[in-house]
Amino acid sequence: MFTKVLVAEDYEIANQGIIKILNEKIGIHDIEEAKYCDDAYLKFRKAYNSQEAFQLLITDLSFRQDHKVQTRTSGVELIKDIKKIQPDIKVIVYSQENRPDKINMLFDKLNINGYVCKGQHAIKELMTCVDGVYQGKTMLPAELTNNSKANTMIHLDDLDMILLEQLSQGFTKKEIRAKLKEQKITPNGESAIDKRVSKLFEDFKAKNTTHLVAIVKDLGLL
Protein backbone atom coordinates (compact mmCIF):
# COMPACT_ATOMS: atom_id res chain seq x y z
CA MET A 1 0.00 0.00 0.00
CA PHE A 2 1.05 3.64 -0.42
CA THR A 3 3.15 4.88 2.47
CA LYS A 4 3.40 8.63 1.76
CA VAL A 5 0.37 10.69 0.66
CA LEU A 6 -0.30 14.38 0.04
CA VAL A 7 -3.89 15.65 0.51
CA ALA A 8 -4.93 19.02 -0.97
CA GLU A 9 -8.39 20.06 0.25
CA ASP A 10 -9.49 23.49 1.48
CA TYR A 11 -12.42 22.37 3.65
CA GLU A 12 -11.21 21.34 7.09
CA ILE A 13 -13.94 18.73 7.65
CA ALA A 14 -13.33 17.05 4.29
CA ASN A 15 -9.57 17.23 4.81
CA GLN A 16 -9.69 15.57 8.20
CA GLY A 17 -12.18 12.99 6.95
CA ILE A 18 -9.81 11.92 4.17
CA ILE A 19 -6.86 11.73 6.55
CA LYS A 20 -8.85 9.69 9.06
CA ILE A 21 -9.85 7.16 6.41
CA LEU A 22 -6.30 6.87 5.05
CA ASN A 23 -4.92 6.46 8.54
CA GLU A 24 -7.47 4.27 10.32
CA LYS A 25 -9.08 2.28 7.51
CA ILE A 26 -6.23 1.86 5.03
CA GLY A 27 -3.23 2.07 7.35
CA ILE A 28 -1.37 4.98 5.76
CA HIS A 29 0.36 7.08 8.42
CA ASP A 30 2.74 9.40 6.55
CA ILE A 31 0.18 11.96 5.36
CA GLU A 32 0.62 15.68 4.78
CA GLU A 33 -2.24 18.09 4.16
CA ALA A 34 -2.60 21.50 2.53
CA LYS A 35 -5.52 23.91 2.20
CA TYR A 36 -3.99 25.85 -0.70
CA CYS A 37 -2.57 24.60 -3.99
CA ASP A 38 0.63 26.59 -3.56
CA ASP A 39 1.16 25.13 -0.10
CA ALA A 40 0.57 21.63 -1.48
CA TYR A 41 3.10 22.29 -4.24
CA LEU A 42 5.72 23.54 -1.78
CA LYS A 43 5.27 20.44 0.38
CA PHE A 44 5.57 18.29 -2.72
CA ARG A 45 8.80 20.03 -3.81
CA LYS A 46 10.31 19.76 -0.33
CA ALA A 47 9.61 16.02 -0.16
CA TYR A 48 10.78 15.45 -3.74
CA ASN A 49 14.01 17.38 -3.26
CA SER A 50 14.68 15.43 -0.06
CA GLN A 51 14.29 12.18 -2.02
CA GLU A 52 11.23 11.34 0.07
CA ALA A 53 8.70 11.87 -2.71
CA PHE A 54 4.97 11.43 -2.23
CA GLN A 55 3.56 8.36 -3.92
CA LEU A 56 -0.03 9.59 -4.10
CA LEU A 57 -1.73 12.98 -4.45
CA ILE A 58 -5.40 13.32 -3.49
CA THR A 59 -6.73 16.71 -4.50
CA ASP A 60 -9.93 18.67 -4.91
CA LEU A 61 -10.44 20.71 -8.07
CA SER A 62 -11.87 23.93 -6.64
CA PHE A 63 -10.27 25.98 -3.88
CA ARG A 64 -11.80 29.02 -2.19
CA GLN A 65 -10.17 32.38 -2.77
CA ASP A 66 -9.28 34.63 0.16
CA HIS A 67 -6.77 37.34 1.05
CA LYS A 68 -3.82 35.05 0.37
CA VAL A 69 -2.50 35.52 -3.17
CA GLN A 70 -2.05 32.18 -4.93
CA THR A 71 -0.06 31.25 -8.02
CA ARG A 72 -2.06 28.04 -8.44
CA THR A 73 -5.77 28.37 -7.81
CA SER A 74 -7.12 25.00 -8.92
CA GLY A 75 -6.44 21.30 -8.62
CA VAL A 76 -5.86 21.13 -12.37
CA GLU A 77 -2.96 23.59 -12.11
CA LEU A 78 -1.57 21.72 -9.12
CA ILE A 79 -1.66 18.37 -10.93
CA LYS A 80 -0.02 19.81 -14.04
CA ASP A 81 2.84 21.41 -12.10
CA ILE A 82 3.48 18.34 -9.95
CA LYS A 83 3.44 15.98 -12.94
CA LYS A 84 6.00 18.14 -14.75
CA ILE A 85 8.44 17.15 -12.01
CA GLN A 86 7.19 13.71 -11.01
CA PRO A 87 5.24 12.24 -13.95
CA ASP A 88 4.78 8.86 -12.28
CA ILE A 89 3.04 10.14 -9.13
CA LYS A 90 -0.42 8.61 -8.69
CA VAL A 91 -3.28 11.11 -8.62
CA ILE A 92 -6.83 10.78 -7.31
CA VAL A 93 -9.25 13.69 -7.71
CA TYR A 94 -11.84 14.02 -4.93
CA SER A 95 -14.38 16.63 -5.99
CA GLN A 96 -18.01 17.69 -6.26
CA GLU A 97 -17.58 18.06 -10.02
CA ASN A 98 -19.76 15.45 -11.74
CA ARG A 99 -19.78 16.56 -15.38
CA PRO A 100 -18.61 13.59 -17.49
CA ASP A 101 -16.77 15.79 -20.00
CA LYS A 102 -14.66 17.51 -17.37
CA ILE A 103 -13.92 14.25 -15.57
CA ASN A 104 -12.97 12.60 -18.86
CA MET A 105 -10.63 15.52 -19.60
CA LEU A 106 -8.74 14.84 -16.38
CA PHE A 107 -8.11 11.24 -17.40
CA ASP A 108 -7.30 12.04 -21.04
CA LYS A 109 -5.22 15.20 -20.66
CA LEU A 110 -3.74 14.92 -17.16
CA ASN A 111 -3.51 11.13 -16.90
CA ILE A 112 -5.02 10.97 -13.43
CA ASN A 113 -5.45 7.50 -11.95
CA GLY A 114 -8.75 7.78 -10.11
CA TYR A 115 -11.74 10.01 -9.49
CA VAL A 116 -14.23 10.12 -6.63
CA CYS A 117 -17.29 12.39 -6.60
CA LYS A 118 -18.10 13.81 -3.18
CA GLY A 119 -21.43 12.51 -1.98
CA GLN A 120 -23.25 10.03 0.20
CA HIS A 121 -20.96 7.09 -0.58
CA ALA A 122 -17.76 9.08 -1.21
CA ILE A 123 -15.74 7.74 1.72
CA LYS A 124 -16.38 4.12 0.79
CA GLU A 125 -15.62 4.90 -2.86
CA LEU A 126 -12.40 6.68 -1.88
CA MET A 127 -11.18 3.60 0.00
CA THR A 128 -11.90 1.44 -3.04
CA CYS A 129 -10.27 3.98 -5.32
CA VAL A 130 -7.04 4.19 -3.30
CA ASP A 131 -6.77 0.40 -3.22
CA GLY A 132 -7.44 0.10 -6.96
CA VAL A 133 -4.94 2.81 -7.91
CA TYR A 134 -2.31 1.13 -5.74
CA GLN A 135 -2.90 -2.08 -7.70
CA GLY A 136 -2.27 -0.19 -10.94
CA LYS A 137 -5.89 0.15 -12.01
CA THR A 138 -7.56 3.22 -13.51
CA MET A 139 -10.50 3.90 -11.22
CA LEU A 140 -13.35 5.53 -13.14
CA PRO A 141 -16.35 7.05 -11.32
CA ALA A 142 -19.95 6.10 -12.04
CA GLU A 143 -20.29 9.34 -14.01
CA LEU A 144 -18.06 7.79 -16.68
CA THR A 145 -19.05 4.14 -16.41
CA ASN A 146 -22.79 4.84 -16.59
CA ASN A 147 -23.67 3.95 -20.19
CA SER A 148 -26.30 6.64 -20.67
CA LYS A 149 -23.81 9.36 -19.65
CA ALA A 150 -20.85 7.84 -21.43
CA ASN A 151 -22.77 7.86 -24.71
CA THR A 152 -23.19 11.64 -24.50
CA MET A 153 -19.54 12.40 -23.73
CA ILE A 154 -17.55 14.56 -26.12
CA HIS A 155 -14.25 13.12 -27.29
CA LEU A 156 -11.71 15.58 -28.66
CA ASP A 157 -8.63 14.72 -30.72
CA ASP A 158 -5.47 16.79 -31.21
CA LEU A 159 -6.91 18.76 -34.13
CA ASP A 160 -9.99 19.69 -32.09
CA MET A 161 -7.74 20.99 -29.32
CA ILE A 162 -5.70 23.02 -31.80
CA LEU A 163 -8.87 24.57 -33.23
CA LEU A 164 -10.19 25.44 -29.77
CA GLU A 165 -6.88 26.97 -28.76
CA GLN A 166 -6.66 29.06 -31.94
CA LEU A 167 -10.27 30.21 -31.65
CA SER A 168 -9.65 31.21 -28.03
CA GLN A 169 -6.80 33.44 -29.25
CA GLY A 170 -9.12 35.23 -31.65
CA PHE A 171 -7.96 33.73 -34.94
CA THR A 172 -10.48 33.34 -37.77
CA LYS A 173 -11.05 30.03 -39.54
CA LYS A 174 -9.15 31.39 -42.55
CA GLU A 175 -6.17 32.28 -40.37
CA ILE A 176 -6.32 28.90 -38.65
CA ARG A 177 -6.30 27.08 -42.00
CA ALA A 178 -3.20 29.03 -43.03
CA LYS A 179 -1.45 28.09 -39.78
CA LEU A 180 -2.33 24.41 -40.20
CA LYS A 181 -0.98 24.40 -43.78
CA GLU A 182 2.19 26.14 -42.67
CA GLN A 183 2.73 23.55 -39.93
CA LYS A 184 1.70 20.72 -42.30
CA ILE A 185 -1.12 19.61 -40.03
CA THR A 186 -3.92 17.77 -41.80
CA PRO A 187 -6.75 17.93 -42.58
CA ASN A 188 -6.47 21.63 -43.32
CA GLY A 189 -8.95 22.14 -46.15
CA GLU A 190 -11.69 24.76 -45.91
CA SER A 191 -14.50 22.19 -45.86
CA ALA A 192 -12.80 19.97 -43.25
CA ILE A 193 -12.13 22.88 -40.89
CA ASP A 194 -15.65 24.26 -41.33
CA LYS A 195 -17.13 20.86 -40.45
CA ARG A 196 -14.86 20.48 -37.42
CA VAL A 197 -15.73 23.90 -36.04
CA SER A 198 -19.45 23.38 -36.70
CA LYS A 199 -19.30 20.05 -34.83
CA LEU A 200 -17.60 21.75 -31.86
CA PHE A 201 -20.40 24.31 -31.74
CA GLU A 202 -22.97 21.51 -31.90
CA ASP A 203 -21.27 19.27 -29.34
CA PHE A 204 -20.89 22.06 -26.77
CA LYS A 205 -24.21 23.71 -27.69
CA ALA A 206 -22.41 27.01 -28.17
CA LYS A 207 -24.16 30.04 -29.66
CA ASN A 208 -21.00 31.73 -30.95
CA THR A 209 -17.21 31.58 -30.72
CA THR A 210 -17.08 33.56 -27.48
CA HIS A 211 -19.64 31.21 -25.91
CA LEU A 212 -17.71 28.16 -27.15
CA VAL A 213 -14.43 29.41 -25.68
CA ALA A 214 -16.13 30.20 -22.36
CA ILE A 215 -17.61 26.69 -22.18
CA VAL A 216 -14.37 24.82 -22.89
CA LYS A 217 -12.44 27.03 -20.45
CA ASP A 218 -15.03 26.29 -17.77
CA LEU A 219 -14.56 22.59 -18.45
CA GLY A 220 -10.82 23.00 -17.99
CA LEU A 221 -9.99 22.09 -21.59
CA LEU A 222 -8.08 25.34 -22.19
Q: pLDDT (tens digit, 9 = 90+) per residue, 144-169?
A: 776 555 555 566 777 888 898 899 99
CATH 3.90.320 for domain 158-218, yes or no, is: no
Contacts of 35 (CB under 8 A, 6+ apart): 8, 9, 10, 12, 15, 63
Domain boundaries, the chain: 4-150, 158-218
pLDDT-based confidence at 135, cuts 50/70/90?
very high
Over residues 77-81, the mean pLDDT reads: 95
User: According to the model, what pLDDT value does residue 65 have?
Assistant: 72
CATH C-level class of 4-150: alpha beta
- Report the C-alpha gap between 93 and 9 in whole angstroms: 10
| pTM > 0.85 | no
Length of the chain: 222
Residue pair 143/98 in contact by the 8 Å Cβ criterion: yes
Q: Which of 26-35, 61-70, 184-193 has the lowest mean pLDDT?
A: 61-70
How confident is the prediction for the chain on average, in pLDDT?
A: 87
33 DSSP β-pair partners: 7
How wide is the angle at C-alpha 162 spanned by C-alphas 158 and 167, nearest 5°? Answer: 150
**Using N-to-C axis directions, what is the helix angle for 190-204 and 173-182, rounded to 10°?**
120
Q: Tell whether the model's pLDDT for residue 218 goes beyond 80.
A: no
Over residues 45-54, the mean pLDDT reads: 96
- Report the C-alpha gap between 81 and 71 in whole angstroms: 11
Nearest to 85 by CA among 6, 138, 164: 6
Over residues 55-80, the mean pLDDT reads: 85
pLDDT-based confidence at 5, cuts 50/70/90?
very high
- Whether 4-150 and 158-218 share one fold: the answer is no
